[in-house]
Amino acid sequence: MAEHAVNYVIIVGPQGAGKGTQAAAVAPRLGLEHVATGDLFRAILKSESELGDEVRHYYDQGALVPDDLTIRVLFAHIEQLQEEKRGTTGVLLDGFPRNAAQAKSLDDALAERGEAISAVVLVDVPRPELMKRLTGRLVCSNCGATYHREFNPPKSAETCDQCGGELFQRSDDTPEAVEKRLEIYYEQTEPILEHYREQGVLLEIDGNREIDSVTADILDSLKDRVSA
Ligand code: AP5
Ligand code: MG
């Protein structure tokens, strides 16, 4: 990672708002590494380890993985990136922080390094739309690309347009788990946005439009916030 300017950008929003979809589109254009805690956990689930069993217990129900484990997994990943990817300008965090304790751990970790959050992009979508988006989602088992049966369909219903990998439905995209995940968002995640609003780093984007229009708005809102 570039030593002179490390940008920490957060993308936040309710489940299904399009955080992963938008992060995949904007991160490469801004020279940021897309780091999604959900993706880190899905990789751990695939590994069929003891850690995978522990994560599955929370993940499949739509519950949060305990903070200490989440923070350990995330910071180990960021440190590994910092060693390997010296050409990037920073990190786009997707799915972290999700509660007050995680927000504090991030503030503390950045303060220790003399760094700060450059921007927090809130992609907001009304709640009734979110269930439709999540129960129709398809994800590539190989490259992680995200589709929707109706709103962003792949050319073939079973394979990824980008890499030909098999598409699957996420185990936490059942109506029961989605309800639980949304409850957690409105109870624990939404309240931490005030903290970022007070710091003047919160950028609010209307996510209830075409995917490309949302991408254009995010790039525009970040143009003076992310240094190359
Ligand atoms: P995670 O993977 O982060 O899931 P999430 O927060 O539930 O968010 P989603 O990935 O479901 O939504 P998204 O906003 O990325 O939407 P997407 O772009 O895919 O977390 C999963 C689990 O991991 C958690 O429940 C927890 O167990 C654990 N975890 C993760 N982070 C944690 C943490 N920090 N602490 C503790 N536990 C943690 O889009 C959704 C669908 O909509 C797609 O089909 C897409 O094609 C479609 N779509 C996107 N944009 C549009 C648009 N503009 N119009 C129409 N359709 C659209
Ligand atoms: Mg996601």
SS (H, E, C) 91-160: EEEECCCCCHHHHHHHHHHHHHCCCCEEEEEEEECCHHHHHHHHHCEEEECCCCCEEECCCECCCCCCEC
CA–centroid distance, 21 to ligand 1, in Å, is 9
More confident residue, 109 or 183: 183
Mean pLDDT of 168-197: 96
Judged against a pLDDT cut of 60, whether residue 5 lies above it is answered with: no
169 torsion bin: left (phi>0), alpha (psi -120 to 50), beta (else) = beta
- Ligand 1 atom, smallest distance to 185 CA: 6
User: In the numeric block, which tokens belong to residue 74?
Assistant: 């995330």
Tell me if 13 CB under 6 Å of ligand 1. yes
CB-based contact 108:25 (threshold 8 Å): no
Tell me if 152 CB under 6 Å of ligand 1. yes
Domain boundaries defined on the chain: 7-222
**Catalytic residue ranges:** 19, 98, 137, 170, 181
- Ligand 1 atom, smallest distance to 98 CA: 34
- Residue 69 CA from chain centroid, whole number: 17
Tell me if 62 CB under 6 Å of ligand 1. yes
Mean pLDDT of 165-169: 96
**Which pLDDT belongs to residue 4?**
38
Tell me if 59 CB under 6 Å of ligand 1. yes
Tell me if 154 CB under 6 Å of ligand 1. no
For ligand 1, atom 53: residue with the closest CA: 211
Q: What is the mean pLDDT of the chain?
A: 93
Mean pLDDT of 78-101: 87
**Which pLDDT belongs to residue 157?**
85
From residue 9, give the alpha-carbon distance in Å to each of 84, 91, 196: 19, 6, 12
Judged against a pLDDT cut of 80, whether residue 89 lies above it is answered with: no
Judged against a pLDDT cut of 80, whether residue 137 lies above it is answered with: yes
Q: Identity (one letter) of the amino acid at 25?
A: A
**From the CA of 93, which ligand is nearest?**
1
Please provide residue 223's backbone torsions phi and psi, each rounded to the nearest 5 degrees.
Answer: -60, -30
CA–centroid distance, 87 to ligand 2, in Å, is 25
In this predicted model, what pLDDT tens digit does every residue of 34-76 receive, in sequence order?
Answer: 999 999 999 999 988 999 999 999 999 999 999 999 999 999 9
CA distance 9 to 93: 6
Pick the CATH number of 7-222 from 3.10.180.10, 3.40.1080.10, 3.40.50.300, 3.30.540.10: 3.40.50.300
Judged against a pLDDT cut of 80, whether residue 99 lies above it is answered with: yes
CA distance 65 to 170: 16
For ligand 1, atom 23: residue with the closest CA: 38
Tell me if 70 CB under 6 Å of ligand 1. yes
CA distance 71 to 205: 27
Looking at the chain, the whole-number percentage of residues with pLDDT higher than 70 is 96
**Which pLDDT belongs to residue 87?**
58
